[in-house]
């Protein structure tokens, strides 16, 4: 027959699918719906990476299968196109970021198209399109009106040499990524979003969704709910009370010293009383150079300075204890001060050992607290603790909190690690923040009718040398009138972070051209929640949390009908180079997907990326693996040469057919694409072993394989003269009863040595089994038979002398 010409076939079918609008989601809301979503890419100048097709193919498989199962499927694609690399490219090459974005999008789209994805391209969105960011701004205004967007002094990263504010990702090991100069923190007034108001709701919402476990854990850890108490310690002989946050109020009798963070305001307040002020001041300067992350690292050697001239009183036993300054206590958490219980907290223990501070055991159950902190809370009774003695930890906590509350020196307290979201960027290529500042009225929102507030053209995309966004230099644009009083006012010149557009994009796909609302109520009601959202592990904290926050807020506002945006969330592993290292230009191990599509075909690339290994783990690229998948498709192609008539599965294949349908159907829904493909490979081998495949078997085989390799399967289907398209077929059914193996293969042995294998009904009786076995090895039975053994379902053994 004709050889398998992937290039011609793939282009042909991509055109047909476009012309037939084969994968358009319909607005027929009477049908059952399925919303499959992958994270939309940032259209970088590098183009598609072989990492992109892995998740896109996986959910394309799900989308195609669900369509064949009768669902109205929404599988959309778009561009998360604001952001730094484009802006930096624009600065360097003096090309408008809009043009850079247009070119990159065009390239990306052509590449995705060449992979045959069943995206509904009519719903394509782009976060930089004013008709899109109009609604991003609209959501911001809603947040502002609800008091959830506010201005606050926050530090930004400031390069002392370039004199620009840097994004976190531009600061590498404390220096500027571009020039290598030290980066310092500069305080600037910035827009903040009060995500902390939603901490509890974002935690609760996790109970209603089915996310893979590690994603749930990362959400929970980021929110970081912690329950404990605030306790006041009197500073000896002073007005001031030092309030600490502790999760272990039960250990108060074991608090042998206190620690305040280097930024704690009490230090400046009691400057006059502190005799070693210079040493403290030195220490604070050192601490200012470290990041919170560095400071809280467990493994780091503890440092600190005792305050000479101030001490505190432990409120439960009136003992005077020293106050230290150490950077392991962060100002950004709790109260910025702690009571140290070295016997039961590892960091305190290390600190106490280093500075020779007393360690008093108050929970019995460990070995020797002088050797190691005992941090267990599930077992252990209180000792050396007055009125708590003999109680278990949980009981002791309650009793201590009651005691503190009664004395008015403490209360139970819940803390969250979650911080408010810094929402300002001093950059050009982002959504303008639709707020003006009026001397009389303060921060005033633009009226909705003025949205979108479009980005004006500027002469330079470079941030200004006082750290303002380049928009600040556009005085014509900046100076405006106050929507409230009509007086002179200035526009906000910071723009939104890249997280903004991606925090609600899945809503827009449901109704992308709506000019009256971000999407119609009907569309949102029908399509939400997203049934399955897959994305990178690197986005399972921030992006997921930010978008859940916006969604929950919009739910509270009555804009969206569901509390949670995504019913199911999974994550894929990375694709590494042949050497097992991350693909990068400098390592010279980058594979270009275009080359694979050209040389082997999109179907091969798709099959390979699904066959490469367990979906959730990273996997190394292998050119041999690609070739293996191509060989598989070549053999699929050649099945046409052994095709025979027959409108029902042949009995020899019946079980295997039903088994394969069952396995592929369930594997496709459970991230086990590799084993689904392996099952199809095994079935294909069986057809070759048999020397034929019949029409009914071939049709089912092509339908099962179609979601993975859509082009080749359509072409063969058409070649064979089968009616319609594969994509429009009904997904094959399996009969549970027929998946059960009803024959068994039995080794036939002579004196314990296997001589043949016989296939028999699973429920064969002893006599029939032995007779069938003997017949098969008749020519080898030359001696006298002394024993005939049948171990049911296992072995036939003939013993001869
Ligand atoms: C006394 C104590 C005794 C503590 C004990 C722990 C064990 P999570 O669970 O993360 O909320 N802490 C409080 N504020 C801190 C800050 N700003 N910087 C560094 N550490 C701080 O941790 C709460 C515990 O971390 C608190 O409970 C406090 O130490 C410390 F056997 O208080 B604990
Ligand atoms: Zn005003």
Q: Which domains does the chain have, with CATH numbers?
A: 225-416 (3.90.740.10), 742-800 (3.10.20.590)
Lowest mean pLDDT, pick from 166-180, 294-308, 515-529: 166-180
Ligand nearest to the CA of 258: 1
Instruction: Out of 290, 338, 352, 366, give the residue to mutate to test ligand 1, the one with the largest number of ligand atoms within 8 Å of its CB.
Output: 338
Structure tokens at 634: 């070549």
**Tens-place pLDDT, residues 245-254:** 999 999 999 9
Does 374 contact ligand 1 (Cβ within 6 A)? Answer: no
Whole-number pLDDT of residue 683: 98
**Tens-place pLDDT, residues 67-123:** 999 999 999 999 999 988 898 888 888 899 999 999 999 999 999 999 999 999 999
Average pLDDT (353-359) is: 97
pTM of the model: 0.87
**Tens-place pLDDT, residues 367-389:** 999 999 999 988 899 999 999 99
- The answer to whether 232 and 409 are in contact (CB under 8 A) is yes
Q: CA 119 to CA 53: how far, in whole Å?
A: 13
CA of 485 to the centre of ligand 2 (A): 4
- For 431, list phi and psi in degrees, rounded to 5: -75, 130
Average pLDDT (472-499) is: 95
Task: Please tell me the residue having the least CA distance from ligand 1 atom 33.
Answer: 246
- Is the pLDDT score of 167 beyond 80? no
Task: Please tell me the residue having the least CA distance from ligand 1 atom 14.
Answer: 334
Ligand nearest to the CA of 221: 1
Does 344 contact ligand 1 (Cβ within 6 A)? Answer: yes
Q: CA 199 to CA 418: how far, in whole Å?
A: 7
Task: Please tell me the residue having the least CA distance from ligand 1 atom 9.
Answer: 226
Q: Mean of the per-residue pLDDT values for the chain?
A: 94
Q: Which atom of ligand 1 is nearest to the CA of 415?
A: 11
**Tens-place pLDDT, residues 395-415:** 999 999 999 999 999 999 999
Enumerate the H helices of 368-488 as residue ranges.
393-407, 475-478
Higher pLDDT, 289 or 310: 310
Does 245 contact ligand 1 (Cβ within 6 A)? Answer: yes
Give the pLDDT band (50/70/90) at residue 274. Answer: very high
Does 333 contact ligand 1 (Cβ within 6 A)? Answer: yes
CA of 2 to the centre of ligand 2 (A): 76
Q: Which of 101, 108, 107, 103 is nearest to 127 (CA)?
A: 101
Instruction: Determine the length of the chain.
Output: 801
Average pLDDT (481-500) is: 95
Q: Which atom of ligand 1 is nearest to the CA of 363?
A: 31
- Evaluate whether ipTM surpasses 0.85: yes
Does 336 contact ligand 1 (Cβ within 6 A)? Answer: yes
- Is the pLDDT score of 673 beyond 80? yes
Task: Please tell me the residue having the least CA distance from ligand 1 atom 25.
Answer: 246
Average pLDDT (169-196) is: 84
Task: Please tell me the residue having the least CA distance from ligand 1 atom 27.
Answer: 246
Whole-number pLDDT of residue 169: 65
Does 572 contact ligand 1 (Cβ within 6 A)? Answer: no
- Is the pLDDT score of 530 beyond 70? yes
Q: CA 257 to CA 259: how far, in whole Å?
A: 7
Q: What is the phi-psi region of residue 225: left when phi exceeds 0, alpha when psi lies from -120 to 50, beta otherwise?
A: beta
Whole-number pLDDT of residue 316: 96
Q: CA 698 to CA 720: how far, in whole Å?
A: 10
DSSP 549-588: HHHHHHHHTTSSS-S-SBSEEEEEPPEEPTTSSPP-TTTT
Does 226 contact ligand 1 (Cβ within 6 A)? Answer: yes
Does 334 contact ligand 1 (Cβ within 6 A)? Answer: yes
Structure tokens at 468: 């303002």
Give the pLDDT band (50/70/90) at residue 624. Answer: very high
Ligand nearest to the CA of 442: 2
Ligand nearest to the CA of 380: 1
CA of 232 to the centre of ligand 1 (A): 15
Give the pLDDT band (50/70/90) at residue 37. Answer: very high
- Annotated binding-site residues read 585
Does 251 contact ligand 1 (Cβ within 6 A)? Answer: yes
Average pLDDT (311-315) is: 97
Three-state secondary-structure class, residue 493: coil
CA of 144 to the centre of ligand 2 (A): 17
- Is the pLDDT score of 160 beyond 90? no
Q: Which of 288, 295, 316 is nearest to 231 (CA)?
A: 316
Directed axis angle between helix 695-705 and helix 710-719, to 10°?
160
**Tens-place pLDDT, residues 323-339:** 999 999 999 899 999 99
Does 262 contact ligand 1 (Cβ within 6 A)? Answer: no
CA of 542 to the centre of ligand 1 (A): 24
Task: Please tell me the residue having the least CA distance from ligand 1 atom 7.
Answer: 345
Q: Which residues of 462-473 are buried (b: 16+ CB within 10 A; e: fewer)?
A: bbbeebbbbbbb
Does 248 contact ligand 1 (Cβ within 6 A)? Answer: yes
Structure tokens at 427: 């950059």
The 3-class SS string of 32-62 reads CEEEEEECCCCCCCCCCCCCCHHHHHHHHHH
Whole-number pLDDT of residue 24: 98
Does 258 contact ligand 1 (Cβ within 6 A)? Answer: no
CA of 221 to the centre of ligand 1 (A): 15
For the four alpha carbons of 335, 337, 342 and 345, in that order, the dihedral sign comes to positive
- Is the pLDDT score of 255 beyond 80? yes
Q: Which atom of ligand 1 is nearest to the CA of 334?
A: 14
β-pairing verdict for 643-644 and 693-694 = parallel
Three-state secondary-structure class, residue 453: coil
Q: Which atom of ligand 1 is nearest to the CA of 296?
A: 19
Question: In the chain, what percentage of residues exceed pLDDT 70?
Answer: 100
Average pLDDT (265-277) is: 95
- Annotated binding-site residues for ATP read 585
Whole-number pLDDT of residue 742: 73
- Is the pLDDT score of 211 beyond 70? yes
Average pLDDT (743-751) is: 91
Task: Please tell me the residue having the least CA distance from ligand 1 atom 2.
Answer: 248
Ligand nearest to the CA of 443: 2
Does 495 contact ligand 1 (Cβ within 6 A)? Answer: no
CA of 447 to the centre of ligand 2 (A): 13
Tell me the sheet residues that pair with 392.
381
Average pLDDT (481-487) is: 96
Does 452 contact ligand 1 (Cβ within 6 A)? Answer: no
Q: Is 270 exposed, middle or buried (0-12, 13-18, 19+ CB in 10 A)?
A: middle
CA of 246 to the centre of ligand 1 (A): 5
Whole-number pLDDT of residue 329: 95
Task: Please tell me the residue having the least CA distance from ligand 1 atom 18.
Answer: 329
């Amino acid at each position: 027959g004709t050889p398998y010409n992937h290039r011609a076939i793939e282009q042909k079918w991509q055109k047909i699918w476009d012309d037939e609008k084969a994968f358009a989601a319909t607005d027929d809301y009477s049908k059952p719906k399925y919303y499959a979503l992958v994270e939309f890419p940032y259209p970088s100048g590098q183009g598609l990476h072989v990492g992109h097709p892995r998740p896109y193919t996986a959910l394309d498989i799900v989308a195609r299968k669900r369509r064949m199962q009768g669902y109205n499927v929404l599988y959309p694609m778009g561009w998360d196109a604001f952001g730094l690399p484009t802006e930096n490219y624009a600065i360097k090459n003096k090309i408008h970021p809009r043009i850079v974005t247009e070119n990159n999008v065009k390239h990306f789209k052509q590449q995705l198209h060449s992979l045959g994805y069943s995206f509904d391209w009519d719903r394509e969105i782009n976060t930089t399109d004013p008709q899109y960011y109009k609604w991003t701004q609209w959501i911001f205004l809603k947040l502002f009106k609800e008091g959830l967007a506010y201005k606050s002094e926050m530090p930004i990263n400031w390069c002392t040499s370039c004199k620009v504010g840097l994004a976190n990702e531009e600061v590498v090991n404390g220096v500027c990524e571009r020039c290598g100069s030290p980066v310092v923190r500069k305080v600037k007034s910035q827009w903040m979003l009060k995500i902390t108001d939603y901490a509890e709701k974002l935690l609760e919402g996790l109970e209603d969704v089915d996310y893979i476990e590690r994603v749930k854990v990362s959400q929970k850890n980021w929110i970081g709910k912690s329950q404990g108490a605030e306790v006041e310690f009197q500073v000896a002989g002073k007005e001031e009370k030092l309030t600490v946050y502790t999760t272990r109020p039960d250990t108060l009798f074991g608090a042998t010293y206190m620690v305040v963070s280097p930024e704690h305001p009490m230090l400046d307040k009691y400057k006059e009383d502190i005799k070693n002020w210079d040493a403290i001041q030195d220490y604070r300067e050192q601490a200012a150079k470290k990041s919170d992350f560095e400071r809280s690292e467990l493994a780091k050697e503890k440092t600190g300075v005792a305050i000479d001239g101030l001490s505190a009183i432990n409120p439960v036993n009136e003992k005077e204890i020293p106050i230290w300054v150490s950077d392991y206590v962060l100002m950004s958490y709790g109260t910025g001060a702690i009571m140290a219980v070295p016997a039961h907290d590892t960091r305190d223990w290390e600190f106490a050992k280093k500075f020779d501070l007393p360690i008093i055991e108050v929970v019995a159950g460990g070995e020797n607290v002088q050797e190691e902190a005992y941090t267990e809370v599930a077992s252990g009774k209180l000792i050396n603790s007055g009125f708590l003695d003999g109680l278990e930890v949980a009981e002791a906590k309650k009793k201590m909190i009651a005691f503190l509350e009664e004395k008015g020196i403490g209360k139970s307290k819940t803390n969250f690690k979650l911080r408010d979201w810094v929402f300002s960027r001093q950059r050009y290529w982002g959504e303008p923040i639709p707020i003006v500042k009026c001397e009389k009225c303060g921060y005033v929102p633009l009226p909705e009718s003025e949205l979108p507030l479009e980005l004006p053209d500027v002469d330079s995309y470079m941030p200004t040398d006082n750290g303002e966004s380049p928009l600040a230099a556009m005085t014509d644009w900046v100076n405006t009138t106050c929507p409230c009083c009509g007086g002179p006012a200035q526009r906000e010149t910071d723009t939104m972070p890249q997280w903004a557009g991606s925090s609600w994009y899945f809503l827009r796909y449901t109704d992308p051209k709506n000019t009256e609302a971000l999407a119609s109520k009907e569309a949102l009601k029908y399509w939400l929640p997203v049934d399955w959202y897959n994305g990178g592990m690197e986005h399972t904290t921030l992006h997921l949390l930010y978008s859940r926050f916006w969604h929950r807020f919009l739910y509270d506002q009555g804009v969206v009908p569901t509390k949670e945006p995504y019913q199911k969330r999974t994550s894929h592993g990375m694709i590494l180079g042949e050497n097992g290292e991350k693909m990068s230009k400098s390592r010279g191990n980058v594979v270009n997907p275009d080359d694979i599509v050209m040389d082997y075909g999109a179907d091969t690339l798709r099959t390979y990326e699904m066959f490469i290994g367990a979906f959730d783990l990273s996997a190394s690229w292998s050119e041999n693996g690609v070739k293996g998948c191509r060989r598989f498709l070549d053999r699929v192609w050649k099945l046409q040469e052994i095709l025979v008539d027959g409108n029902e599965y042949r009995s020899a294949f019946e079980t295997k057919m039903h088994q394969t349908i069952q396995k592929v159907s369930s594997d496709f829904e459970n991230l086990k694409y590799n084993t689904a493909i392996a099952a199809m490979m095994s079935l294909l081998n069986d057809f070759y072993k048999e020397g034929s495949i019949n029409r009914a078997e071939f049709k089912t085989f092509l339908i099962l394989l179609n979601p993975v390799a859509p082009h080749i399967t359509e072409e063969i289907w058409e070649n064979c003269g089968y009616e319609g398209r594969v994509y429009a077929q009904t997904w094959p059914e399996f009969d549970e009863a027929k998946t059960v193996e009803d024959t068994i293969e039995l080794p036939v042995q002579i004196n314990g040595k296997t001589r043949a294998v016989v296939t028999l009904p699973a429920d064969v009786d002893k006599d029939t089994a032995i007779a069938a076995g003997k017949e098969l090895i008749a020519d080898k039975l030359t001696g006298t038979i002394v024993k005939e053994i049948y171990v049911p379902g296992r072995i036939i053994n003939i013993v001869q002398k």
